[in-house]
Amino acid sequence: MSETSNEIELRGLCRRFREGEREQVVLDGIDLDVRRGETVALRGRSGSGKSTLLNLIGGIDAPDAGSVTVAKMELTGLSERERTLFRRKHIGFVYQSFNLVPTLNVADNVRLVLELNNVPAFQGSTRIDELLDAVGLADRMESYPDVLSGGEQQRVAIARALAHEPAVLLADEPTGNLDDATAEAVLGLLDKLVRDSSHTMLIATHSQHIALRCDRVLELHNGRLRETTSRPQ
């Protein structure tokens, strides 16, 4: 595997949290390479550190030791501001609880990301139409998040996460708040969109369904990462 085709490279990544006297080692030396266009499922029990790992990759959090390289950028040395600008350009987030901006309608939620990336307005509008059409919400552009169902909100969140063509899409239990049928539909959509545009995706989940759709499945356990080649039954 040549160095250049890796979208994500983690080396010796450590993250500890201190709460008073108690120190908790959440990530204890993680090494990982994810190629461009690969989709990776990250499994592990609740509290195993999945979100923590995604935060480190997304530049939201900084590691105590080790290095994170995403889209050829070494994040460890970056300032808070540089990490923000990196995130703005290269990362798309999908959360369990959707996190749409309640004061903006569907179209504006997507537009916000485009504006942050200085996409010209006319170009942005085309992109918004395209994306919302792709997630099946072209007729809900003017709606506000509070009138959408959970599945619809998550579809908007997916459109928002992909709007600026990020290098990496990070999804943290994206179906955790959805019922099975809706989860399946949302997941299908996510999978399709990511593969169509050959994005790199890291998706934290404890759902087996999701894992089945991904190229690789990783298991986080006791602060270490384990590749599970055997697909779960």
Ligand X SMILES: Nc1ncnc2c1ncn2[C@@H]1O[C@H](COP(=O)(O)OP(=O)(O)O)[C@@H](O)[C@H]1O
* Residues at the contact surface with Mg ion, assessed by CB under 5 A: 51
Our finding on whether 215 is near ligand X (CB under 6 A) is no
In terms of phi and psi (left: phi > 0; alpha: psi -120 to 50; beta: otherwise), the region of 48 is alpha
Choice between 6 and 207, CB closer to ligand X: 207
Tokens of 74: 């070494």
Please report how close the Cβ of residue 206 comes to Mg ion at its closest, in angstroms. Answer: 10
Beta bridge partners, 9, equal 33, 69
Compute the least distance from the CB of residue 74 to another protein, in Å.
18
Q: Is 232 in the site for ligand X (CB under 6 A)?
A: no
55 versus 200: smaller Cβ distance to another protein: 55
- Segment contacting ligand X (CB under 6 A): 42-50, 93-101, 149-157, 183-191? 42-50
Residues 6-25 that bind ligand X (CB under 6 A): 17, 19
Smallest gap from Cβ 38 to Mg ion, in A, equals 21
Biggest alpha carbon distance in the chain?
A: 55
Instruction: Return the number of the residue (76 or 84) whose C-beta is nearest another protein.
Output: 84
Cross-strand bridge partners of residue 220? 225
| Contact residues for 73 (Cβ-Cβ < 8 A; gap 6+) | 86, 90
Q: If contact means CB under 5 to 8 A according to the sort of partner, which of another protein, Mg ion, ligand X, none does residue 9 touch?
A: none
Residue matched to tokens 């997916």: 158
At its nearest, how many Å lie between ligand X and the CB of residue 48?
A: 4
Buried b (16+ CB within 10 A) or exposed e, 206-232: bbeebbebbebbbbbeebebeeeeeee
Give me the residues that bind ligand X (CB under 6 A), please. Answer: 17, 19, 26, 44, 46-52
